[in-house]
Amino acid sequence: MGVFGLREEEIKHAIKVLGREPNDLEWSVISVIWSEHCSYKHSRKYLKEFLTKAEWVEQGPGENAGIINLGDGYRIVFKIESHNHPSAVEPFQGAATGVGGIVRDILALGARPIALLDSLRFGPLNKGRNKYLFEGVVGGISFYGNCIGVPVVGGEIVFEECYSSNPLVNVMCIGLLTPDQKSYRGRAEGEGNLLLLVGAKTGRDGLQGASFASEKLDEEVHKKRPSVQVGDPFLGKLLIEACLEAASLDGIIGIQDLGAAGLVSALSESARRGKSGVELILDNVPQREENMSAEEILLSESQERMLLVVRPEKIDKVIEVFRKWDLEASIIGKVISKERFVVYFKGEKIVDLPTELLVEGSLIFDPPYTPYEVPSISSDLYNSIKEEHIANFVEVLVEDLLIKESIYRKYDYSVQTNTILPPGLGDSAVLRIKGTNKGIAITTDGNGRYCYLDPRKGAIYSVAEACRNILCVGGRPLGITDGLNFGDPSDPKVFYQFREVVKGINLASRVLEIPVVSGNVSFYNGQGENTIYPTPIIGMVGILEDINYLITPGFKKPGNLVYLIGDLSWLSLGGSRFIKDIFNKVVGDVPWVDLIWERKLKLFWEEIRKEKGILLSAHDVSEGGLLATFLEMAFWGNRGVRVDLPDDKIEYLVGEGSGIVVEVEREGEREFLERLGKYALKAIKIGEVTDNEFVISPYIKTTLSELFKRR
């Protein structure tokens, strides 16, 4: 590694393109904007493969977030982003500022943030540090989200040993644009237009945060605390309201969040998008600490700051809005026609670099990759499965439901009064869009074990499962935002995982016609030999054109029929939670995913969801197999179930794979089967809903009262 955290070849490349040796401050600017976190130098070649367009996509990748059109002038803005490294060092602030950052990404497009989801990975809680990280992260997310009035409506949480040294904290935010709202982009254009920095004053917190997020953690993680930003959610709430009010005025050209790399990233990227340049006067940046150097001001990642590009004749009215909300609003420079990033400090020009060099000029790295073999499930392991293992697994799944319920209680999911289906009560959260009969379904999904065993199949499965989650509540899937979490890309096995995961997401996205409109890549997760599983998180948004299409979770009425749409033979122990939790092994072949079948299922559901009363409840088969599916539907609906599996193959009980369990009224059975036949789909009648009895023959016979006695 060369100076300023750059490789020797990057240093030579910068000098060659620039035609001179940059000064020390310019090297700092180049190094932070060329960090992995900002430049995507290991990933952007492959991300270009994604399907990103559809007739309902208004904005795809390349901006702060993606936009999909719901019709009638309503648009949803959404993105997922990670804050892994900061959360490993300072879990409360790392998670809290992760929420703040993703909220401002949505705000940058002019949308009101209306919901948050989190996708979390930790090591086992029986280890002290893991519990500390877990409690800090959950506390940080709930604190920031609750204080700014944006509900946390869903998500997922997984505990695996590989995440002990480096938890994964991915947060997804959803925003709404109504017919009377204009959408914005992060663009600086129009010579002479003014650069207005609004929100918090700039401090020394978060220095080199982008570089910190682009390197491997080491044993001395606590020394990296100065790289972690510090959030102020109360100021963040004011910033939301002020920005939305200002966005309703004429004269604003563009809006950009200040996140990773601070002013450097915000200004250079905005200028590049607008095919312009910027001239920055650092002395005009409001500072909350004395004697800050030019480098500190430029690279600070202080939170709760936004950049607005404003026409000069409208600047006073815009500033007036922020002053009304008791926020700083300072003119820090202007847009210039020459495509350069120019910085002045104390009367001297201290930086003068081409925006093309900064934003698109980094070298692209395409390191070697190596496939690897994983162990299969041995006959000895298979034959060692006993009845007590099943009983133990039931206890694990019930405990998991109770833990998740306790987490959701810490989140205020009812604020803004849009939440129809709250967290922990189904496959997706559902929000109403006030003033219409529309609703949106949102979910996050990912399976690191599957992606370790077979990265491509695991990624395909994650997309397909997210799609099924949207279907299960009556939604029509429209768009994906992906959070891609990996280890060190210089490791050939890790880069193989990354390449294969991207291929899997791309294939599933194209077959299912659900484009990728935004996302985030996080490399260098792990510490020493403790490398994380490749963990792509799929955030997905769908629409309910009529809220009456909603399929609420949980069994409804004793006597109703229970069907499995799919095939029992697809269920597999490979990579299953049962084998991991009971035998502490991650082995076997990942469950097969038939994307053509998944596409047919999507088309079938598009039709049947509009028929009220045919499907009364639905839940996809995922982690924990049919056992987990039945336990969750019973837990959510406070109704039991009696199931007769065709034989005693353990895969039928705890194996995982594609499939959806549905509850059908006897009167609607015929129509249900006829609609299935139209799409050449099969379903197996496997039981019926009961009042309190919980029976899965030939394995389990108990009651809800006994199962959930600690609830």
The residues annotated as belonging to the active site are: 37, 83
How are beta strands 277-281 and 476-485 bridged, if at all?
unpaired
The residues near 662 (Cβ < 8 Å, ≥ 6 apart) are 562, 563, 564, 565, 615, 616, 617, 618, 672, 683
The residues near 291 (Cβ < 8 Å, ≥ 6 apart) are none
319: Cα within 13 Å, side-chain hemisphere? 15
Cα 698 to chain center, whole Å? 39
Residues 605 and 676: their CA atoms lie apart, in Å, by 9
SS3 of 549, please? helix
Alpha-helical regions (H) of 222-277: 233-247, 262-273
Bridge partners (DSSP) listed for residue 71: 74
Residues 264 and 355: their CA atoms lie apart, in Å, by 10
CA nearest 299: which of 28, 27, 2? 28
Element (H, E) at 350: strand 348-354
As given in the structure block, the two tokens for residue 339 are: 């495509």
CA nearest 526: which of 456, 598, 452? 452
Query: Omega into 698 within 30° of 0, i.e. cis?
Result: yes
Bridge partners (DSSP) listed for residue 537: 483
Element (H, E) at 643: strand 640-644
Bridge partners (DSSP) listed for residue 157: 120
Q: Which amino acid is at 678?
A: K
SS3 of 429, please? strand
As given in the structure block, the two tokens for residue 429 are: 């959260």
Residues 277 and 217: their CA atoms lie apart, in Å, by 35
SS3 of 80, please? strand
Residues 202 and 299: their CA atoms lie apart, in Å, by 10
CA nearest 393: which of 583, 535, 151? 583
How are beta strands 112-122 and 152-159 bridged, if at all?
parallel
Residues 365 and 372: their CA atoms lie apart, in Å, by 21
CA nearest 369: which of 538, 502, 463, 522? 502
- Dump the DSSP string for 460-511: HHHHHHHHHHHHHTT-EEEEEEEEEE-S-TTSHHHHHHHHHHHHHHHHHHHH
Alpha-helical regions (H) of 275-378: 294-299, 315-324, 355-360
Contact (CB, 8 A) for 499 and 691: no
Q: What angle do CA 536, 81, 203 make, to 5 degrees?
A: 145
